[in-house]
Amino acid sequence: AGQVSQTATQEPAVNGTSGKAGPIVLRNIHISADQTSDYIRPGAEAELIFVAANDSADVNDKLVSVTSDVGTVTLTGGGEIPANGVLVVGSPDGQDTALSAIEPADAAEAQLELTK
C-alpha cells in the first residue's frame, strides 16, 4: 500500500513522437536529413522514419499515403501492415533491415521534400 510507480507516466526513450489511428499505432516518427546548419533548408530532401504497428488480431491494413504541412511525401515499397504485425518505414540509424526473424514485419521508404 502507498506505493507509486516512478515509471508509470514516463514516455519511451525514442527520438520521435507517436500517434494512433484506430488499430494502427505509430512510433518513433521523425525525419532524418544531412544537415550543415541549425535547420534543414526548403527544397532539401529528408527521410521520414517511423514504425506502424497493427493492433488488430485479424484485419490486415495498408499505408496508402502520408501528408505533411512541411512538404510532399513520396512512398515507395510495400505498405502492407499485417494483423498483429509491423511496417518499418525508413532505416533508423544503426538498423539496416526489419527484424523479420523476431516478428512479422514489412519495410517501405518515405522521402519528404521540404517546402517550408
pLDDT at 8 over 80: no
pLDDT, tens digit, 9 for 90 and up, residues 33-62: 887 888 888 888 888 899 999 999 999 999
- % of the chain surpassing 90 pLDDT: 25
Cell of 30: 521523425
pLDDT, tens digit, 9 for 90 and up, residues 58-75: 999 999 888 888 888 888
- % of the chain surpassing 70 pLDDT: 71
Residue 78 has a pLDDT of 81
**What confidence tier does 32 reach under pLDDT thresholds 50, 70, 90?**
confident
- What is this structure's pTM? 0.71
Contact present, 77 and 64 (Cβ < 8 Å): no
Residues 6+ apart with CB under 8 A from 108: 63, 75, 76, 77, 78, 79, 87, 88, 89
pLDDT, tens digit, 9 for 90 and up, residues 71-108: 888 888 888 999 999 998 987 665 555 555 555 566 67
